[in-house]
Amino acid sequence: MPNPPQRIRSSQHVQKESIAALVRSVRWACRYALLGLIASGAGLFATSPVGAATIVISNVRIIDGNGGPPIEHGQIIIKDQRILAVGAASSEIPVPAGAQHIDGRGGSALPGLADMHVHLLGGTNGVGLDILGYQKYLNALLYAGVTTVMDTGNIEPFILQLREEVRAGRVLGPRIYCVGPLIDGADPVWPALSFAVASKDQVPRLVASLAAEKVDFIKLYVGLSDQLVRTISAEAAKHNVRTIIDQWLRNGSGDIAQEGIAGFAHFPSHRIGDETIATIKANHVFLISTLAVQESALGRRFKDLRFLDNPLIADTTSKAALDRIRKEYGGLSAEQLAAKSTFTNRTDFQGAESNVPRLLAAHILFAAGTDAIYPGDFQGEGLHRELELLVESGLTPLQAITTATKNAAAIVNASDEWGTLEAGKLANLIIVAGAPDRTIGDTRRVDVVIKEGAVIDRTALRLDHTHIPDYQETGSSMAHVW
């Protein structure tokens, strides 16, 4: 999540015992309250993908995600959930009898995209919650060609159950990696999503619990001291779990990079020095980009509201939400737009973008993420905006695509499973009109989405309030002390 403005903490701190009791109560209340939510809603909202034992895609340019030039006049063969063969059509790849044929119509095939920083319960204003609207977010992601996400902070039992139901095929959505809750200090910024840690004595039991739930990372938050960051990261390593962190203005800090973390959940919001980049590299720390939420916080994207008409937004977002944005942001100057946000926190967007080519030149691993959902930063469409911003920052289109494919898989140690179009890997891919290797905006022109070998019916993913109500979002989930 982006950085709320820094304020003085309340002088009345909650005692450690009260925090622990409150967290236990909230966790079990959430577990019982949410136990039947996904199961009861899955049959109503999910749209079953169209399965076929073997699929042959031809007449397509292949961008395999490795960063090299496309294969022209390519052909891809999918059998069950995996890619059987990839190559030029002239290479005489044997085509199995009875296969379903898809004509790529001269478009481009690329790996299914991955957004490595989302929150699957956030409201459209960025601080409220819309837990019941989870399916519209999953649909929006698939509609935009996003077949994998990492949820980087959520209500623990909810996101764990959602991850499992998607994995089992009972809920339609992109594959979910998750961190569970945020691990924050004694006064969490986002109490409903957080576990409060006031003492190192809490760490062993907390880490053991999260490891038992098989979270993909443990996410540390801004209220933790450097000592606790080090302690939790060391304890997590004993369980073969890694930590990522959001330290607000200290994202990208060389000091934090030396505390045992695996990665920063955000790019720094300012230019960092060469020495800091060297420290990040020396400690093998990765980063997740999230330029889209920085742009959103500064109001820069609202200078021209026509972007809201893009089908990836208009087809998956409620009219009421879009009308609210148009009313709230329309006709404002750049200064007025920036002043509206409480999340700018001295963001130097030009400085943030200047880090991108320097991190690339230093061979530091980074992947694309959005921190969706915030005003102007949407689930699904936001990742395409992120790729555009990475190109604006100095990457080539092919390098940007790699951040949302190959690099994303590398961050979660899944390079053998997905992230590139290669024989043996999961058949997660999209076909888009145009040539995104030349014009990055063409990634938006999604025609076909295939997840794990099944063709997704994109038409059925468009938001329909006869199936998914326009739920009333909650008020701010941010603690009042901030």
State the CATH number of the domain containing residue 362: 3.20.20.140
Q: 3-state SS of the chain?
A: CCCCCCCCCCCCCCCHHHHHHHHHHHHHHHHHHHCCHHHHHHHHHCCCCECCCEEEEEEEEECCCCCCCCEEEEEEEEECCEEEEEEEHHHCCCCCCCCEEEECCCCEEEECEEEEEECCCECCCCCCECHHHHHHHHHHHHHCCEEEEEECCCCHHHHHHHHHHHHHCCCCCCEEEECCCEEECCCCCCHHHEEECCCHHHHHHHHHHHHHCCCCCEEECCCCCHHHHHHHHHHHHHCCCCEEECCHHHCCCHHHHCCCCCEECCCCCCCCCHHHHHHHHHCCCEEECCHHHHHHHHCHHHHCHHHHHCHHHHCCCCHHHHHHHHHHHCCCCHHHHHHHCCCCCCCCHHHHHHHHHHHHHCCCCEECCCCECECCECCCHHHHHHHHHHHHCCCCHHHHHHHCCHHHHHHCCCCCCCCCCCCCCECCEEEECCCCCCCHHHHHCEEEEEECCEECCHHHHCCCCCCCCCCCCCCCCCCCCC
Instruction: Give the structural domain span for 147.
Output: 16-47+113-420
Residue 105 falls within a domain, yes or no?
Answer: no
Are 291 and 393 spatial neighbours (Cβ–Cβ below 8 Å)?
yes
Residue 103 falls within a domain, yes or no?
Answer: no
The predicted model scores a pTM of 0.90
Q: What is the pLDDT of residue 52?
A: 59
Q: What is the pLDDT of residue 343?
A: 60
How many domains does the chain fold into?
1
Residue 141 falls within a domain, yes or no?
Answer: yes
Are 218 and 241 spatial neighbours (Cβ–Cβ below 8 Å)?
yes
Q: Is 239 exposed, middle or buried, given 0-12, 13-18 or 19+ CB atoms closer than 10 A?
A: middle
Q: What is the pLDDT of residue 40?
A: 41
Torsion of CA 232, 233, 236, 241, to 10 degrees: 140
Residue 322 falls within a domain, yes or no?
Answer: yes
Pick out the chain residues at pLDDT < 70: 1-52, 341-345, 481-482
Retrieve residue 198's tokens: 């006031």
Sign of the Cα torsion 460, 422, 289, 360 reads: negative
Q: What is the pLDDT of residue 404?
A: 98
Residue 76 falls within a domain, yes or no?
Answer: no
Residue 106 falls within a domain, yes or no?
Answer: no
Q: What is the pLDDT of residue 466?
A: 83
Other Cβ atoms within 10 Å of 40 Cβ, number = 9
Residue 71 falls within a domain, yes or no?
Answer: no
Q: What is the pLDDT of residue 228?
A: 98
CA distance 375 to 265: 19
